Amino acid sequence: MSRFSKSILVLALFGASTATFAFDNYKGIGRPATPAEIKAWDIDVRPDFKGLPKGSGNVDRGQELFEEKCASCHGTFGESNEVFTPLIGGTTKDDIKTGRVKGLSSGELPQRTTFTKVATISTVFDYIQRAMPWTAPKSLKPDDVYAILAYMLNLAEIVPADFTLSDKNIAEVQKLMPNRYGMTTDHGMWPGAPAKKGGIGNGGIPDVKNVACMKNCKPEAKIGSTLPDYARNAHGNLAEQTRSVGPVRGVNTSGDAPAAQPAAGAASPAMELAQKSGCMACHGVNNKIVGPGFNEIQARYKDQPDAETRLVAKVKAGGQGVWGAIPMPPNSHLPDADLTTLVKWILSGAK
Amino acid sequence: MVDSVNKPGRLRPAPENFLSEVQIEAVGAGRRDFLRKSFLAASAAMAAPLAARASEGDPNILQNPEWTTTLGQPVAVRPYGLPSKFEAGVIRRESPGLTRVGAASVSFCPLQNLFGIITPSGLHFERHHQGWHDIDPSKHRLMINGSDPEFVKRPKVYTMDDIMRLPPVSRIHFIECGANTGLEWGNVAVPTVQYTHGMLSCSEFTGVPLKTLLDDCGVDYKKARFVLAEGADGSSMTRTIPMEMVENGEVLVAYGQNGEMLRPENGYPLRLVVPGVQGVSWVKWLRRIEVGDKPYATKDEAVHYIDLMPSGLHRQYTSVQECKSVITTPSGGQQLLDKGFYNVSGIAWSGRGKITRVDVSFDGGINWQTARIEGPVQNKALTRFNINWVWDGKPAILQSRAIDETGYVQPTYGQLRAVRGTKSIYHNNAIQSWKVAESGEVSNVQVL
């Protein structure tokens, strides 16, 4: 073999190796993850409880934590529909026996709650641990999560009031989940391998089959539903929502429109701060949502000389009682300067 | 209908007998002074001198406007460009009453105002689960690990510097929320295409195939058939992705959107791109990829994003966005200016591949015509279609029906409801109908 053909061979081998061992090309990119790093971020819990941390918590402790950290959005009994859809309700003793929530098919359910839907208790544990409470996600210790989940299970009448939930018995509780047999994967909308090949679903077979008829496809076009009158201007003046040049215009619906919505970008810096800080989730400017409207707060405190200092402290620490039973969560994560700006703004009329 | 006489840019017709036989003769003979005289005469005779001038021509032409007669602004007045002030109404909007918390809500893309297929980044629809942050890219990390240590030889951490050093690809794909059009499962609920279909956008995304990184970490593809993607936001949102889509190179770890970095609301500095799959799987602020041997039943695939069927069962892991289309001009809440010619325009897309054909009906689905497709047609991307129409001033019902490369034909409401009922919230890809009234007002209706 000549030297020339040898070098061709070497080149060919090199080409093959780059294709096979792709990672070898990416030297210097990335670094090994340390065990501590993986532990810090790998917090997911699967339906087979892979990833579940050790720990336990009872219903009583769960109630304390729930009232302190969860009730402001979800209501003391997880029933609130004010901020999010309810967590608890709609399941029966019979559902716990059968593992199917009957209200889902009978049409008796006015609204689906978390426990009417969820089949896997791991999902609830995983989600509380990773995302709750709303304004301070990942602040709960595993024992807190067990306790809060125990309280929710008790509210749903799945476990008794003296129950302690732990990594040891959670698989037993799974067998009591009211909608544990309520899921199906028999559909064509999973974009991977089908169930018969270790994946999910039927391999992409659609559940409806339309035919592209072109002429005289039906005797008449029957209108089944039209836009209700009240919905015509429920999204503001449509004239402003289509540009004012081109083949069409937006229909003017301002004549009978409700109070004008604030134009985009027109919010004051303090209003933006209030939105950014999550205040507007529970307080309206002129209306109660979960907590009192800013107008009500201003009316109550406006003549008190120390109102600003007192309110800053209240917003920071949270509290309950002044405006009713629903507690306000603490906002200690907000800088003092922001708290002062917000309180001043509220006391000056939240304009 | 808009008064056709007062339409912008349209010349007001001259009063009858404005030019006498003699004057017409004068025009023919090339005598110009007659015009001035006749204007003077007309001005004296008519109450509206403006109209008289207009009959000579459009004042926008006859009198040079300010922008033609004065000095304009210098460069870089706006170091980052902004739309014209006349486009102020072309913005994302919320649907009042849909959600009660802005940090777990949706803003809809103004499809009725867009052209072509690319969504300007500032108009891309938003869906956040626990608010958005503007993440410092120098502190952002992507970790790749396994549900079982044996699935990944080398679990690794990548910085943005690392990821942006790798060979990128740029691809145009649509992203649609699984709940898009979800408000309309039972009946018509919202007035315009922004609210019926606006949880839809399409961008050029630039990034690295996820497979490049999994190869780099030494993933055991035989055992690990599922991928968990996790965000870095408060909700640390998680979704299960099939390994098959990663292996075929489709799934991207993307940092670029329409030539610049992702917008914070769209996941800056890093998001997953899962073409054809509902938006919730395109995890924003992507911080971790775990490969595993089982699906994860995360909150957004076990409590939400599950489709309730009439049997009371929920379909779980429904991910593909099936073939769908909608006419955007004219569409609900709009007003035709006049009888006559219109270019009817819309968009079509399919999570199963390319669009092959779009048909349009003007009579509520009795008869159909095939629309023009504006190429190039791309895989799992919005596809623009157009069709000519001369409106005769009579009521009409406009519909579009898309067909994708699998042969799937976009279904009717009747067909979908027969199988799925009206309570599934997600994956409503029914044919949309817009009714044109004699007044020219277009409104949202459903035809079974």
* Residue A272 contacts B, CB cutoff 8 Å: no
Residue B15 has pLDDT above 80, yes or no: no
Q: How far is A6 from chain B (nearest CA, A)?
A: 31
Name the residue facing B143 among A33, A223, A261 (closest C-beta): A33
Instruction: Indicate whether A170 belongs to any domain.
Output: yes
Name the residue facing A210 among B96, B320, B412 (closest C-beta): B412
Given a cut of 50, the residues of chain A with pLDDT beneath it are 1-5, 7-23, 257-265
Parent domain of A11 = 3-41
Choose, out of B314, B401, B415, the residue to mutate when testing the contact with A (most A CBs < 10 Å).
B314
Name the residue facing B333 among A215, A241, A275 (closest C-beta): A241
Q: How far is A299 from chain B (nearest CA, A)?
A: 25
Q: How far is A9 from chain B (nearest CA, A)?
A: 26
Q: How many helices (H) and strands (E) does chain B have?
A: 10, 24
**Taking CA A9 as the corner, what is the angle to CA A3 and CA A12, rounded to the nearest 5 degrees?**
145
Instruction: Indicate whether A192 belongs to any domain.
Output: no
**CB-CB under 8 Å, A213 with B311:** no
Report ipTM for this prediction.
0.88
Map residue B32 onto helix, strand or coil: coil
Q: Contact at 8 Å (CB) between B288 and B142? A: yes
Considering only alpha carbons, which residue of chain A is nearest residue B141?
A30
Domain end marker among A174, A198, A223: A174
Please indicate, yes or no, whether residues A35 and A106 belong to a single structural domain of this protein: no
In chain A, which among 184-203 make CB contacts under 8 A with chain B? 184-193, 198-201
Name the residue facing A243 among B89, B129, B156 (closest C-beta): B89
Q: DSSP secondary structure string, A63-111?
A: HHHHHHHTHHHH-TTS---SSS--SS-S--HHHHHHSS-THHHHS--SS
Instruction: Indicate whether A257 belongs to any domain.
Output: no
State residue A213's pLDDT score: 98
**CB-CB under 8 Å, B297 with A123:** yes
**CB-CB under 8 Å, A127 with B162:** no
Q: Contact at 8 Å (CB) between A239 and A252? A: yes
Please indicate, yes or no, whether residues A36 and A82 belong to a single structural domain of this protein: no
Which pLDDT band holds residue B8 (cuts at 50, 70, 90)? low
Q: What confidence tens digit (pLDDT) does each residue in B42-76 have?
A: 444 444 445 545 589 999 999 999 999 999 999 99
Name the residue facing B166 among A29, A127, A241 (closest C-beta): A29
Q: Contact at 8 Å (CB) between B240 and B185? A: no
**CB-CB under 8 Å, A226 with B443:** yes
CATH assignment of the domain containing A63? 1.10.760.10
Domain count of chain A? Answer: 3
Kindly give the pairing relationship between strand B369-370 and strand B355-361: antiparallel
Read off the tokens for B131: 């608010």
State residue B39's pLDDT score: 44
**CB-CB under 8 Å, B112 with A231:** no
Please indicate, yes or no, whether residues A33 and A65 belong to a single structural domain of this protein: no
Residue A268: partners with Cβ closer than 8 Å, 6 or more residues away: A345, A351
User: What is the average per-residue pLDDT within B131-147?
Assistant: 98
User: Which residue has 């039972």 as its token pair?
Assistant: B186
State residue A309's pLDDT score: 84
Instruction: Indicate whether A122 belongs to any domain.
Output: yes
Please indicate, yes or no, whether residues A77 and A119 belong to a single structural domain of this protein: yes
Q: How many CB atoms lie within 10 A of CB A183?
A: 19
Domain end marker among A174, A195, A217: A174
Name the residue facing B363 among A187, A209, A221 (closest C-beta): A221
The count of CB pairs under 8 A between chains A and B is 360
Instruction: Indicate whether A252 belongs to any domain.
Output: no
**CB-CB under 8 Å, B290 with A42:** yes
**CB-CB under 8 Å, A184 with B315:** yes
User: What is the average per-residue pLDDT within B262-284?
Assistant: 98
**CB-CB under 8 Å, B294 with A48:** yes
Q: How many CB atoms lie within 10 A of CB B170?
A: 13
Which residue would you say has higher pLDDT here, B11 or A71?
A71
Residue B79 has pLDDT above 60, yes or no: yes
Instruction: Indicate whether A194 belongs to any domain.
Output: no
Q: How far is B75 from chain A (nearest CA, A)?
A: 25
Domain end marker among A147, A174, A201: A174
Contact list in A for residue B287 (CB cut-off 8 A) is 41
Q: Contact at 8 Å (CB) between A250 and A241? A: yes
Q: What confidence tens digit (pLDDT) does each residue in A33-46 have?
A: 999 999 999 999 99
